[in-house]
Amino acid sequence: MIVLRSARPEEIETIRALERASAQRFVGLMDALVADEPRPAAVLAARIADGGLVVAVEHQAIAGFAMFRPVEHRLYVEQIDVLPAFAGRRIGAALLDAVTEQARTAGLVGLSLSTFRKIPWNAPYYRRLGFVEVAALTPAMAAIRAEHLARGLDEDARVFMVRDV
């Protein structure tokens, strides 16, 4: 049984390893993304301190996580990953539902994220979960896009999406 809970500081390196393992799905599709370093430990520690990192745990093993922060009137999902061995079990959907509940509790209007337009487990997946593409970027989304470009991500292949609570 999967349990969702806030991440703990002692789990930071496990979460970084999970992010590396999850990136392996992009081998041959986006090798630059595979080579990208996981989030720095300091960023994960800050999200944990702010309550912006939820993990999915089964039998004391972390199967997935969602990292998020408030951006404008939504919680922006910075990263969501599920170990490939746990794929197809709706863990990602459950993590997004947990983040949505946090947005609702905080009085925010919903979630936002940036993802790859054509990768089946990205934009098409989020569409099935009720996310819609954003026609025009907000100032904060434009700033996030600039951060992505600085990291070398292909922003032509990405799209911003939102889901209301």
> What domains does the chain contain, in order, with CATH numbers?
3-164 (3.40.630.30)
Polymer length in residues for the chain: 165
Q: What is the mean pLDDT of residues 88-110?
A: 97
pLDDT level of residue 34 (50, 70, 90 thresholds): low
pLDDT the model gives residue 23: 78
Distance, CA of 61 to CA of 105 (rounded, Å):
28
pLDDT the model gives residue 50: 96
How do residues 1-10 score in pLDDT, each as one tens digit?
899 999 999 9
Distance, CA of 109 to CA of 101 (rounded, Å):
11
pLDDT the model gives residue 26: 63
pLDDT the model gives residue 27: 57
Distance, CA of 125 to CA of 95 (rounded, Å):
14
> Does the pLDDT value for residue 152 go beyond 70?
yes
